[in-house]
Amino acid sequence: MCTFFLSIIYRQAFSKTDFTDRTREDSNMAVSLRLGRQGALLGLRFTQIKNSLWPSHYFQDRVRHFFHSPWVLGVPPLKVQMPALSPTMEEGNIVKWLKKEGETVEAGDALCEIETDKAVVTMESNDDGILAKILMEEGSRNVRLGTLIALMVEEGQDWKQVEVPSPDAPPPPAGPTVTHEPTGSPVTPTSPPLSIKPTTSGPLRLSPAARHILDTHGINPKLATPTGPRGLITKEDALNLLKGSPPTKPTPAVATPTVPPPVQSPTHTPTGPPPPPGSRPNVPSLSVPGKPGAPGTFTEVPATNVRRVIAQRLTQSKTTIPHAYASIDCDMAAVMKLRKDLAKEQIKVSVNDFIIKAAAVTLKQMPEVNVTWSGDGPHALDSVHISIAVATERGLITPIIRDAANKGVQEISAQAKVLAQKARDGKLLPEEYQGGSFSISNLGMFGISGFSAVINPPQACILAVGTSRAELQLKDDDQTVRTRQLMTVTMSSDGRLVDDELASRFLDQFRANLEQPQRMTLA
């Protein structure tokens, strides 16, 4: 019985505890539901308020479109940079723009003409688009490789809204660069009075006009501020000093008229030894632009890229290549007769065409002369490419007759005329003047009997050709006198590659080929 009652009491106690826990869980769940419903209602109300204030994303899209529009950021450009149009090119000049801003450009179209160190080359476009902005105008000089010269945009974009990048460095000036300080520009006279200390120390260097002005007015040259090259006191410096000096009363001359230099006034001559009366400046003064040049002055002429490269390569050739010279006389009677026979058949060829053919055939017969010098030593060449010197207004350039040994004289003549005309017009392509193995320079048409040419590196030889002349010669067999048409050729050879013995054998073989033109067709 006791056990029965204890079990009933135990069940009732646990049932009350379960009831209390369930009641607590139900109340917590009710509170959670109530709070969740209130949060959901609050979120819906906030969404309604947001929708009432911003009914759509139209305004946000417009703002985003504005900040991404070309009016703010600009149209992204296609950059056009100064290209390397020759292996030795370091800078170029913009000669002429063939396209204008706003014009449509296709890949392969000519954009502009660029003067390189060899010739004027046409630059072609690599992309399709519209030329939006020209950054380097016509006449821009010394433009370094990789410099931004123009901007393009893609087709369909507004080229007027192109984004111009900020330049990394200021562009070079369009006009010629002058390395010295200008001496002809007007300067406001700010010369110090005579009471200050002399501004020039050391040996004085005066132009003749400045010396005459200072000596005439009795002014110490050391008071002048030199603005000429290497501290030269120019005429303008003397005039500026004279304008800033106080007026002086004329003093009677104490020297006789026979004395050339005038005597300086003792009242206005500062302490210091006067310049020697017979001293002359080491460098003449520059001439003033727009004024007639005084005796002893000069005018600086800006050098083109071609002239600078010619000067650089000639200096390199004469200072680094041991030149050796050898001359020989060639009888041109057979060539002259063959030219007349060909002219009757309306085939016009020049003497220079036969010389090119003879040199090419001789190089093929003696491949040890067909070499070039590089940093690691001699390089033997497989093909014979003859460079012919052509004089142009921009300087000397050497277009190439490629594989001349396997071409006839008529074909060489036609190709030489085309290349010479393109060289004078500045239209040579890089492959038309690069890679020669032997050079020929002919001054015979100017009446030059003979001369020595400078080797064109990395080539080993250059042949200098003079004019033909008539000479009387006594025959050994019958003791009669005959007239010969002799032409002197002088070969300059690189002593590292072609020694004197090899050069002599080459000239002897060259003479044999030229005096017997039929042999060249069999070689």
Q: 260 vs 212, which has greater pLDDT?
A: 212
Decide the pairing of beta strands 143-144 and 120-124: unpaired
Domains in the chain, CATH or no CATH each? 78-153 (2.40.50.100), 319-520 (3.30.559.10)
Q: Is the pLDDT of residue 43 over 50?
A: yes
Give pLDDT, residue 76: 86
Using the predicted structure, report yes or no on whether residue 45 has a pLDDT greater than 80. no
Radius of gyration of the chain (CA): 44
Residues 6+ apart with CB under 8 A from 129: 78, 104, 105, 152, 153, 154, 155
Give the Cα separation of 25 and 255 in Å (integer).
134
Q: 220 in helix, strand or coil?
A: coil
For residue 11, the number of C-alpha atoms closer than 13 Å in the C-beta half-sphere is: 5
Tell me the pLDDT tens digit for each residue of 108-145.
Answer: 899 999 988 777 888 888 889 999 999 999 988 889 88
**Global confidence as pTM:** 0.55
Predicted pLDDT of residue 41: 57
* SS3 label, residue 143: strand
Residue 360 has pLDDT above 90, yes or no: yes
Q: What distance in Å separates the CA atoms of residue 370 and residue 466, rounded to the nearest whole number?
A: 23
pLDDT bucket at 63, cuts 50 / 70 / 90: very low
Output the CA–CA distances (angstroms, integers) from residue 60 to 48, 53, 63, in the order listed.
19, 13, 5
